[in-house]
Structure 1
Amino acid sequence: MSAPDDAPDNGPDSAARGERIAKWLARAGVASRRDAEKLVEDGKVRLNNQPVTHPATFVQPGDMVQVAGKVVDQPDRTRLWLYHKPDGLVTTHKDPEGRPTVFAALPPGLPRVVSVGRLDLNSEGLLLLTNDGALARQLELPANGWIRRYRVRVFGVVNERQLAELARGPVVDGIKYGPIEAGLDSQKGDNAWLTVALREGRNREIRRVMMSLGFHVSRLIRISYGPFQLSGLERSELQEVPGKVLREQLPKS
């Protein structure tokens, strides 16, 4: 068992130290890194049969980790999947309202996965899934500069000047959003299709911004997330990203 240490785990001797317990648990799919730290605080984590009392405890290859008395399997290699989420599913493992979830709809045999960001109940399109919780949080960071692109159908007659102003970063109900690129693709009667791109993706951001412009969103489809595209994926289809492609596309730390 590695002794607790307040030094960061990304220094020159990090390989010898191992990996911080919370990060290891996140990669193993037990919980998010923050929730894993809470498990440590609550005394539910043991390392080599010894209680873990400090979040800066390091795990080395071959160590045995237990959470609530159950042995946790060693983290698998980092994997990423593209999933075409249909509407009508919530992006959560358990829904208090009993609504169907993305994770219950996935094919059997997958390891425990988490989503990179979310798509709400009525949204559809590309959802990234990974078995590495730390990677999920990394890919969600706006600092990575990854653009999330959507096709959006709205009810209303679109003024393209209004769309252009979104590039300044709209303010809705006192909330300042980052710059949004929005363009009109087609207008037929009172229905219009837009392409919308942003780097942040807060909860229901596109719907709220469009509502502030007087438009009701009737369909929202995410078509890309960073370098990964929805094209070619049928509804509910799942496709793993090859390891070589994943390594090439991951943001460099």
Structure 2
Amino acid sequence: MTETGPQGERIAKWLARAGVASRRDAEKLIGEGRVKLNNTVVTHPATFVAAGDLVVVNGTLVDAPERTRLWRYHKPTGLVTTHKDPQGRPTVFEKLPPGLPRVVSVGRLDLNSEGLLLLTNDGALARRLELPANGWIRRYRVRVFGTVDPAGLAALAQGVTIDGVRYGAVEAGLDSRKGDNSWLSVGLREGRNREVRRVMAHLGLQVTRLIRVAYGPFQLGNLPRGTVDEVPTKVLREQLPAA
């Protein structure tokens, strides 16, 4: 069964494109009975939405998906990349400039990390851009405290296992050193949770600053901290991998 066709579009994909949640999280919402289609609770993800249908999530009417859009955001430190934080910490989405539609992030940056965070109104796109199969490299500038061993950095290109977790190849090189503080350039394709910090700790290095400067073809450049810049549609079409 296809996801689009005469019947319409699968509801989980529709919700993802509408920016409500990722497709996987949309399926969870459906399983919890929190989604209605034309005033009827949706009970199965193989439900289709057609033009003119009314979709309600948690009692709120969801607007039909807009065209797919993507933004670059310069995330400051001190914000968590989540829509709601159980600990009450400020979130990226609370601090975004006014006027944006509902967006989701492409991957995350942790509380103490900064730099480029991609945002989109299309949850399905976000999921696709996060997949390692895209081959997109996430690039970082990393300040570390400790003694840097260039050979140890080079060995990361073969991947490394830490506490039973296997991390893929990591590109890492020394840019500059001043006393016990050094700046490194780091590139990786998987982007697992806190991967850079864990790999550096494995080498006996403490990360004191972590800045993401690129995500695939998209660059942080000179985007001011805390600001958002939309990627032109033409550029988006040129750079997106095939669906």
Q: Does the 8 Å contact 2:21/2:104 carry over to 1?
A: no
SS in 2 for 1:234: coil
Instruction: State the 1:154 CA deviation.
Output: 0.5
The aligned counterpart of 2:109 is: 119
Q: What TM-score results when the alignment is normalised by the length of structure 2?
A: 0.96
Aligned to 1:110: 100
Percent of residue pairs bearing the same amino acid type: 73
* Cα displacement string for residues 150-200 of structure 1 (whole angstroms, at most 9, x for unaligned residues): 000111121110001000101111110010000111111111110000000
1:236 aligned partner, one-letter code: G
- Paired residues of 1:157 and 1:187 also in contact (CA < 8 A): no
Partner of 1:102: helix, strand, or coil?
Answer: coil
Aligned to 1:61: 51
CA apart distance, 1:132: 0.7
1:146 equivalent in alignment to 2:136: yes
User: Which of 2, 26, 30 in structure 2 is aligned with 1:8?
Assistant: 2
Q: Give the Cα separation in 2 of the matches to 1:206 and 1:123.
A: 10
- Aligned partner of 1:38 in structure 2 is 28
When residues 51 and 100 of structure 1 are mapped into structure 2, their CA distance, relative to the original with a 3 A threshold, is closer
Question: Deviation of residue 203 (structure 1)?
Answer: 0.7
Tell me the distance in 2 between the aligned counterparts of 1:38 and 1:223.
Answer: 33
Among 201, 204, 210, which residue is 2:194 paired with? 204
Cα distance in 1, alignment partners of residues 29 and 179 from structure 2: 55
* Coordinate RMSD, CA, aligned: 1.2
Other-structure match for 1:84:
74
Aligned equivalent of 2:60, options 45, 62, 70: 70
Q: TM-score, normalised by structure 1?
A: 0.92
Report the alpha carbon displacement of residue 251 of structure 1 after superposing the two structures with TM: 0.7
Change in CA separation of 1:88 and 1:44 when aligned onto 2, cut-off 3 Å: closer
The farther-off stretch of 49-58 and 179-188 is 49-58
Listed as ranges, the gaps of 5+ residues in structure 2 are none
Distance, in Å, in 2 between the alignment partners of 1:146 and 1:108 is 30
* C-alpha distance after superposition, 1:57-89 (max 9, x if no partner): 111222221223432111111111000011111
Asked if 1:25 is matched to 2:15, the reply is yes
Aligned counterpart, 1:235: 225
Equivalent in the alignment of 1:164: 154
1:82-135 deviation digits (Å, cap 9, x = unpaired): 000111111111111111111111011211111100000110000000111111
Deviation digits for residues 205-226 of structure 1 (CA, Å, limit 9, x no counterpart)? 1111101111011000000000
Structure-2 residue corresponding to 1:3? none
Matched, 1:132 2:126: no
Q: CA deviation at 1:32?
A: 2.3
The residue matched to 2:226 in structure 1 has which SS?
A: coil
2:205 aligned residue: 215
Moved more, 40-49 or 68-77: 40-49
In structure 1, distance between residues paired with 2:20 and 2:14: 9
Q: Who is 1:249 aligned against?
A: 239
Distance 1:229 1:150 in 2: 11
| Separation of aligned partners in 2, 1:170 and 1:152 | 18
1:193 aligns with 2:212: no
Which letter maps to 2:114?
E
**Structure 1: runs of 5 or more not aligned:** 1-6
Contact 2:97 2:227 in 1 (8 A): no
